[in-house]
Amino acid sequence: MPWPSGSPVAEWWDEAVFYEVYVRSFADASGDGVGDLPGIRAHLPYIAELGVDALWLTPFYPSPGADHGYDVADYCDVDPAFGTLDDFDGLVADAHELGLRVIVDVVPNHTSIEHPWFREHRERYVWAEGRNGGPPNNWLAVFGGPAWTHDPASGEWYLHLFAPEQPDLDWHQADVQHEFESILRFWIERGVDGFRIDVAHGLFKDPELRDEDEPVPGSEPGSFDRRRAIDQPQLHPLYRHWRTLAGDRVLVGEVFLSDPVRVADYVRPDELQLAFNFTLLWEPWDAAALRDAIDATLGALAAVGATPTWVLENHDVPRLVTRYGSASRARAAALLLLALPGTAFLYAGQELGLEEVALPDEARQDPVFFRTGGARAGRDGCRIPIPWSPDEPGFGFTDAMPWLPVPADWGSLSVATQRDDPASMLSLYRDALRLRPRGGGLTWHESPPGTLVFERGGTVCAVNVDASALAVPQGELLLASDSANRGELPSGTAAWVRA
Ligand code: GLC
């Protein structure tokens, strides 16, 4: 594989493991049942000991919470529920002290409907006249329903690719561009090491707001490949500009496009350094599908010389143990993920093997559930607070009632229970982060159907996805997802061997 073309790793993010902290769900220091910055700060040693390189904090800005912080009412402050700017500064200082970088989430596609701009600078948003008494075009919101809401006062419609409480900004306006430059500078001056750019593919819209092509008959409602509401050519000069603003800080784009070749355009040498690659995350536990996703990604990114990235969990998708149907497979997947070339993203709780939780309807909070009339379960099930100890009902996350209920049997998954157990998921992640191969591209070894075997940086990663058995490759066994299996890897297990 051409990446990293034989050259030494150039930048800290090229081989980094990022740890995503969903701020509401990590640790509550204030005692209100909701996670906060002081809570995260108190648990930084845990994150450092895990062995990751950087922390990604989800939005903690003042927000009415229609999308749990992804509806921002003030980009340059901290929501009182999460702490203060001083708390933020303290968190960054402590993280740096521990050798952890910190990136923050910037949400430029939309604001909260309660952002003062929506009242005072209407022209910064996308407004249009209706068509035949209905919305201006056929665009659909990601969270369900039309992407337009009628404003009775003006008679016009405003655009929202997500919830109506998240009006889309009009990035064709110079003012909007200038405002975000100031916002990026504000956080750079506070010492952040980079930004995760929310909905990075969405900022500009087709200036004529033309209809999207109709979906292929028989496909899921709302599943049409958006072409005019997203992925517009103006994004590339914008990101080139942001790259110069960012200096040596990293920009990670949530470029939510299904084709890695289209994603690669965003990580050309003078644009974003990294973009999430969701291809693995969309695949089932199937060797051929996983291998195709890996090859498609490496091929597309090598063509532009960009660093590959990998992710199996985040705050928007069901937990891995549940998706793959077993903790054993999730353990094997951890060894696959952490052996791949490039940058990996972990989601807090992944290292504990937390499961997706099916919440009763009355406990649900996610707008996706409500906006689809319950047709989609929503994302609450992967946002359950972290169990730090087995003590119910707060599980060491809070002294109060946690904002989403933690299942009564999660004591066994808690940090306190797993910490000193060498066979736990937490120990596996710690070991894998310590032993993970670095440097070099990936070379596939021939292996039976249902298995994946590749070498990288002197380590062979062997994954028995669903074959009856796979022999552990020759060499010194570095790590096995199931330590009982030293000669043969049964289905749903993996091992690293020094070649
Ligand atoms: C991104 C976030 C998601 C949020 C959406 C709208 O996809 O990851 O949580 O709901 O953007 O901001």
- In a structure prediction context, what are the per-residue pLDDT tens digits for the chain, which is 499 residues long? 444 444 445 899 999 999 999 999 999 999 999 999 999 999 999 999 999 999 999 999 999 999 999 999 999 999 999 999 999 999 999 999 999 999 999 999 999 999 999 999 999 999 999 999 999 999 999 998 899 999 999 999 999 999 999 999 999 999 999 999 999 999 999 999 999 999 999 999 999 999 998 766 666 555 556 789 999 999 999 999 999 999 999 999 999 998 999 999 999 999 999 999 999 999 999 999 999 999 999 999 999 999 999 999 999 999 999 999 999 999 999 999 999 999 999 999 999 999 999 999 999 999 999 999 999 999 999 999 999 999 999 999 999 999 999 999 999 999 999 999 999 999 999 999 999 999 889 999 999 999 999 999 999 999 999 999 999 999 999 999 997 666 899 999 999 999 8
CA of 315 to the centre of ligand 1 (A): 9
Residue identifier of the C-alpha nearest atom 9 of ligand 1: 316
CA of 221 to the centre of ligand 1 (A): 20
CA of 23 to the centre of ligand 1 (A): 14
- Residue 325 included in any domain: yes
DSSP class of residue 14?
A: G
Query: Can you give the pLDDT at residue 6?
Result: 43
* 237: CB partners within 8 A, 6+ apart: none
Query: Which domain, by its residues, includes 370?
Result: 12-116+172-438
Q: Count how many residues are written for the chain.
A: 499
Atom of ligand 1 nearest to the CA of 368: 10
Catalytic annotation, residues:
198, 254
Residue identifier of the C-alpha nearest atom 6 of ligand 1: 70
- Residue 267 included in any domain: yes
Query: Which two tokens mark 205?
Result: 């819209």
CA of 162 to the centre of ligand 1 (A): 8
CA of 441 to the centre of ligand 1 (A): 32
- Residue 145 included in any domain: no
Ligand 1: residues whose CB is within 6 Å?
67, 70, 107, 162, 198-199, 254, 315-316
Residue 272 near residue 197 (C-beta atoms within 8 A): yes
Query: Burial code of 229-262, b = ≥16 C-beta within 10 A, e = fewer?
Result: bbbbeebbebbeebbeebeebbbbbbbbbeebee
Paired strand residues for 494: 463
- Count of domains for the chain: 1
Residue identifier of the C-alpha nearest atom 2 of ligand 1: 198
Atom of ligand 1 nearest to the CA of 161: 6
Query: Can you give the pLDDT at residue 483?
Result: 74
- Residue 480 included in any domain: no
Ligand 1 pocket mutation, candidates 198, 226, 317, criterion most atoms within 8 A of CB: 198
Residue identifier of the C-alpha nearest atom 5 of ligand 1: 70
Atom of ligand 1 nearest to the CA of 109: 12
Atom of ligand 1 nearest to the CA of 316: 9
DSSP of 329-392, one letter per residue? HHHHHHHHHTTSSSEEEEETTGGGTPPP----GGG---HHHHHTTTSS--SGGG-PPP--SS-T
Query: Which two tokens mark 256?
Result: 């939510």
Ligand 1 pocket mutation, candidates 70, 203, 256, criterion most atoms within 8 A of CB: 70
Locate all alpha helices (DSSP H) within 28-173, ordered by sequence.
37-42, 44-50, 85-97, 116-120
CA of 465 to the centre of ligand 1 (A): 31
Task: Give, rounded to a whole angstrom, the gap between the first and last alpha carbons of the chain.
Answer: 18
CA of 258 to the centre of ligand 1 (A): 16
Any idea what the CATH number is for the domain that residue 329 is in?
3.20.20.80
Query: Can you give the pLDDT at residue 225?
Result: 67
- Residue 102 included in any domain: yes
Ligand 1 pocket mutation, candidates 199, 257, 382, criterion most atoms within 8 A of CB: 199
Residue identifier of the C-alpha nearest atom 12 of ligand 1: 70
At 50, the amino acid letter reads L
**pTM score, whole prediction:** 0.96
- Residue 284 included in any domain: yes
- Residue 33 included in any domain: yes
Tell which phi-psi region holds residue 492, choosing left (phi > 0), alpha (psi between -120 and 50) or beta: left
DSSP class of residue 106?
A: E
